[in-house]
């Protein structure tokens, strides 16, 4: 059974400065989340990005074309109600970070991972003050608790909106370090995305490109880039 999509009922989407930030309005009425929370954003830039999504809707409203709105809804309805728990969950990635688990063979892949990922772990130590250990294979790599505590404290410093964007940077890449690198503009976001795909790129070089996997990767990359934009605007 098909679900009826709401139709556009407003003439203009705009941003108004209010107590606590910037509110998105449709013909002067506040936009609300699915939980009926007013959409009040911490920055004008983020509010304008969301207003632009509403303004771009024609005929039926298509949530799939409103990524900033969706992430803001998550920040307000989900992250805000359990901020500490979300921050703790993201911080736990430090104990299983992608960059810390290296291949045992072949040597070409081992060398490629080291060349790409070692500098990122060095950066995390220099910039964040946390050194993570590396291992080979799938056996758990024990991390220094002090380093994990430092990374966790950094995550807990973020507001609800930054956490919402950071959530996807971490979850999609599988790396807390790469998410921080994106947040700190350590290098271009496309390059950071490529660092998260070292293993997949190597497999494609060996066996060719799987079209379905490539399509899924393209979707994930788009979501990763959006998460960076959302984080920056927050």
Look at residue 207 and tell me if it is in a domain. Answer: yes
Q: What is the pLDDT of residue 60?
A: 85
Task: Provide the 10 A C-beta neighbour count for residue 37.
Answer: 17
pLDDT at 2: 47
- Domain of residue 66 covers 13-79
132 and 198 together in one domain: yes
Segments of the chain scoring below 70 in pLDDT = 1-5
User: For the chain, how many structural domains are there in total?
Assistant: 2
| 179 and 72 in a common domain | no
Are residues 87 and 75 located together in one domain of the fold?
no
The confidence score (pLDDT) of residue 1 equals: 41
Where a domain ends, among 28, 56, 79?
A: 79
108 and 155 co-located in one domain: yes
Same domain, 209 and 119: yes
Q: Is the peptide bond before 212 cis (omega within 30 degrees of 0)?
A: no
Judge if the upstream peptide bond of residue 106 is cis by omega within 30 degrees of 0.
yes
On whether both 67 and 102 belong to a single domain, the answer is no
Are residues 92 and 191 located together in one domain of the fold? Answer: yes
The pLDDT assigned to 4 comes to 55
Return the axis-axis angle of helices 189-196 and 176-183, rounded to nearest 10°: 170
pLDDT of residue 67: 97
- Domain-located, residue 6: no
Summarised one tens digit per residue, pLDDT across range 20-67 is 999 999 999 999 999 999 999 999 999 999 999 999 998 888 888 999
Q: pLDDT at position 3, please?
A: 54
pLDDT reported for residue 22: 98
Q: Are residues 97 and 169 in the same domain?
A: yes
The pLDDT, as a whole number, for residue 215 is: 95
**Pair (93, 49) in one structural domain:** no
At 12, phi and psi to the nearest 5?
-145, 135
Helices 67-74 & 44-56 angle (0-180, nearest 10): 130
Would residue 70 count as lying in a domain?
Answer: yes
- pTM of the predicted model as reported, rounded to 2 decimal places: 0.94
Domain of 26, CATH number, reads 3.30.2180.10
């Amino acid at each position: 059974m098909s679900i009826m999509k709401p139709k556009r009922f407003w003439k203009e989407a705009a941003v108004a400065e209010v107590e606590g930030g910037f509110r998105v309005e449709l013909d002067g009425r506040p936009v609300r989340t699915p939980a009926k929370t007013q959409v009040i954003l911490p920055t004008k830039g983020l509010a304008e990005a969301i207003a632009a999504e509403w303004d771009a809707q024609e005929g039926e409203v298509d949530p799939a074309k409103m990524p900033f709105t969706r992430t803001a809804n998550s920040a307000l309805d989900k992250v805000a109600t359990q901020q500490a728990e979300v921050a703790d969950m993201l911080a736990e990635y430090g104990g299983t970070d992608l960059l810390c688990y290296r291949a045992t063979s072949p040597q070409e892949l081992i060398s490629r991972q080291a060349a790409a990922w070692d500098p990122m772990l060095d950066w995390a130590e220099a910039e964040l003050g946390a050194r993570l250990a590396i291992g080979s294979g799938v056996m758990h790599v024990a991390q220094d608790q002090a380093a994990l505590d430092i990374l966790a404290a950094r995550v807990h410093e973020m507001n609800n909106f930054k956490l919402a964007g950071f959530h996807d940077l971490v979850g999609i890449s599988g790396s807390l370090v790469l998410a921080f690198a994106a947040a700190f503009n350590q290098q271009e976001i496309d390059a950071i995305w490529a660092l998260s795909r070292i293993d997949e790129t190597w497999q494609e070089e060996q066996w060719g490109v799987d079209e379905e996997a490539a399509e899924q990767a393209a979707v994930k990359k788009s979501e990763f880039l959006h998460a960076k934009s959302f984080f920056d605007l927050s």
